[in-house]
Amino acid sequence: MPQVSVCIPTYNRAEFLAYAVNSVLAQTYTDFELIICDDGSTDQTPELVHQWQDPRIRYIQHPTNIGRSQNMQSGFKAASGTYFIKFDDDDALTPKFLEKTVLVLDSNPSVDFVCTNHWIINAQHERVESATKENAAKWGKDKLNSGIISDLVTETFQYQSLQVGSTLFRRECLAAVNYMRPEADGCEDFDLLVRLAIAGKQGYFLPELLMEYRLHGGQTSLKQKIHFLKAKLFCLKSYQFIDESLEKLRLEKIAGIQQALAFRLIENGETLEGRKLLQQSHQFLGSSQKATFALLLSYLPIHWRKLAFESFRKLRSQDYAEQVRSLADS
């Protein structure tokens, strides 16, 4: 039985999957199994996977699309390793990721998982140093010290400093919290880490850049954004914190997501539900120019709404993630 199970859930990403798989096969630590769970891909994914003749690779091919969370669950249920990592089909591990993270877990029996820092890479597999630094600063990774994380709830919920794809877990700790919840589809990683923290699990941070997280072209559709926001709202409403400041923050986050979801629903023509959410968020956040703007737009025909929202987005300055993605589209 392998010590580590590596899971790569995939769906129609044959152009990136080879890079992800080869990054696992190139690990200096070799006691692993690689589970590729395919959520009903209709591209060249099956043909690509069958090219590898490595006995450590297991291919789970679902005949139809069963959804992100269910696909991830299928890989987790098939895993047999003591340790487990899941990362996306367009990302990659650096050669010493398993060697260094396994050593931490082997040396610290009380630690449930170890998270590393990561590179930002673009569509051409190039590491973007400026975006990597900005990402670390945005999520507070540059302030985390090496070792056991003292306040895991704050790091996972408030700062969202950790990332599932750059983390090696003890499989038993994931099983204890039911791994991925289908209702959280779209923000499963955030949900998993918060629930681990609430359950009292212990995390360790390794500040080395041992994983590659890809930013590439292709805009998320409005439907996907609405799906994500609804999932995030489900997650936030399912938590409860003893700490008063964190509980207040949770309520603020709920109101913020309600407002963001209201904007998207109004843009999509779901006017009544959007206005209702704006009213709910107003009770906590108060009035704002953005909310007033969205409410006014809700009385316009859908075509004009979409043009207005799109024009508003173009006025914003791009952050590092949007800059890296836009290079792929140029």
Mean pLDDT of 63-78: 93
Per-residue model confidence as pLDDT tens digits over 11-63: 999 999 999 999 999 999 999 999 999 999 999 999 999 999 999 999 999 99
Separation CA 140–CA 49 (nearest Å): 37
Q: In angstroms, rounded to a whole number, what is the distance separating the alpha carbons of residues 26 and 56?
A: 12
Q: Based on the number of CB atoms within 10 Å of its own CB, is 299 exposed (0-12), middle (13-18) or buried (19 or more)? A: exposed
Candidates 3.90.550.10, 1.10.540.10, 3.30.360.10, 3.40.630.30; CATH matching 4-214: 3.90.550.10
First to last CA, the chain: 47
pLDDT at 325: 73
The mean pLDDT value for 271-277 works out to: 97
Check residue 329 and give its pLDDT.
Answer: 53
Q: In the chain, where are the structural domains located? A: 4-214, 222-329
DSSP 8-state symbol, 146? S
Tell the residue number behind the tokens 């009213």, with chain if given: 279
Q: Are the beta carbons of 209 and 94 closer than 8 angstroms?
A: yes
HSE-CB for 266 with a 13 A CA cutoff:
28
What are 212-222's pLDDT values in tens digits?
999 987 557 89
CA–CA dist 313, 295 (Å, integer): 17
Condensed to tens digits (0 to 9), the pLDDT of residues 224-254 reads: 999 999 999 999 999 999 999 999 999 999 9
What is the spatial distance between Cα 162 and Cα 115, in angstroms, rounded to a whole number?
A: 7
Taking Cα atoms as reference points, which of 107, 240, 82 lies closest to residue 174? 82
b/e map 113-133, b = 16+ CB within 10 Å: bbbbbbbbbbbeeeebeebbe
Per-residue confidence (pLDDT) for residue 328, from 0 to 100: 57
The pLDDT of residue 122 is 95
